Amino acid sequence: MRLWLTPVIWVAFLCALAALLPAMAPLFSWVEGGTDNLIYTRNSFYTLLQSHIWLVLASATMGTLVAVSAGIFVTRPAGCDFMPLVSQMASIGQTVPPVAVLALAVPAMGFGEKPTLFALILYGLLPILRNTLAGLGGINPAVLDSAKGMGMSSVQVLFKVELPLAGRVILAGIRTSVTINIATAAIGSTIGARTLGDPVIAGLVNGNTAYVLQGAILIGLLALATDSLFEALERTWARAFSARAHKA
């Protein structure tokens, strides 16, 4: 349980700050004197935080579903012809900067939440796909053979052997994807998605450093809280596995 203490503290800190920032106007008058607009008020920080998290969560779920099923498909006999192309696409695609994907989604789909979500899913599934391929490909063939020798069907081998063994690597891919997407979603403010990037962009446009700081602090905290959540998740996963391996 001690494992989950750090993420809980980060999340509590993030929520508390989102609630308390509006009361900290005197503090921000320090950086941005000479104006009465010290606190970003167009939306509450909670609303922004919520829709930011929603965007990242939705894209991570969709991306994981698509990437893991694609990864499973190309490692089965039926789809192995597609393996070279898919793995090349995953690595070439990651060369394209996320901000360019975001920008290119606008000519295709217009402004708003939809193109942001689309770009997040598209870009976010690449690291997951890559890690799924690495995880499934890195399993010792002898393990698979002995699973088959025990009389497991290929579906059983997939769900009871391959996915649990590849799980940690896939989880690391999801972590990378979520880290990138928290940053990209913030930039999504420029194409009309409602995220914690809004105060930053508004502050940059109006030359209001207080707005910029409020957005930046919350985005940074969100990223750190999420990262520590994944850290705890990865450790729990690893612990569960080594425990089971010891019992066996």
Partner 1 sequence: MPSSTGLPNRVIPVLALAAFVLVWLLNLGVVQPNRIVAGAGYGLFGATGWLGAGIVSSLLFVAVVLATKPIRNRFWVLSFLLTAALMSLPLLLEVFALRKLPADSAYARIGIGAGFWCLAFFLALMLLETLSQLKASRRLQLSVVLLVAAGWWLCAAREGLSSLSLIREYANRADQFSQALTVHLSLSLGAVAISAVLAFGLALAMVRRERLRRPLLGLVSFMQTIPSLALFGLLIAPLGALSAAFPALQALGIRGIGWAPALLALIAYSLLPMVRNTYVALMEVPEPVVDAGRGMGMSERQVFLQVKLPLALPVIIEGVRITTIQAIGLTAVAALIGAGGFGTFIFQGLGQAAMDLVLLGALPTVFLALAADAILSALKFQETPR
> Which residues in this chain contact partner 1 in the complex, by CB under 8 A?
31, 80-85, 88-89, 92, 95-100, 103-104, 106-108, 111, 179, 182-183, 186-187, 190-191, 197, 200-201, 203-204, 209, 212-213, 215-217, 219-220, 223-224, 227
Q: What is the Cα–Cα distance from 188 to 173, expressed in whole angstroms? A: 22
Closest approach of partner 1 to the CB of residue 223, in Å: 5
**33 vs 151, which CB is nearer to partner 1?**
33
**123 vs 135, which CB is nearer to partner 1?**
123
Closest approach of partner 1 to the CB of residue 191, in Å: 6
**63 vs 203, which CB is nearer to partner 1?**
203
**66 vs 152, which CB is nearer to partner 1?**
66
Closest approach of partner 1 to the CB of residue 88, in Å: 6
Closest approach of partner 1 to the CB of residue 150, in Å: 26
**79 vs 164, which CB is nearer to partner 1?**
79
Q: How many residues does the chain have?
A: 248
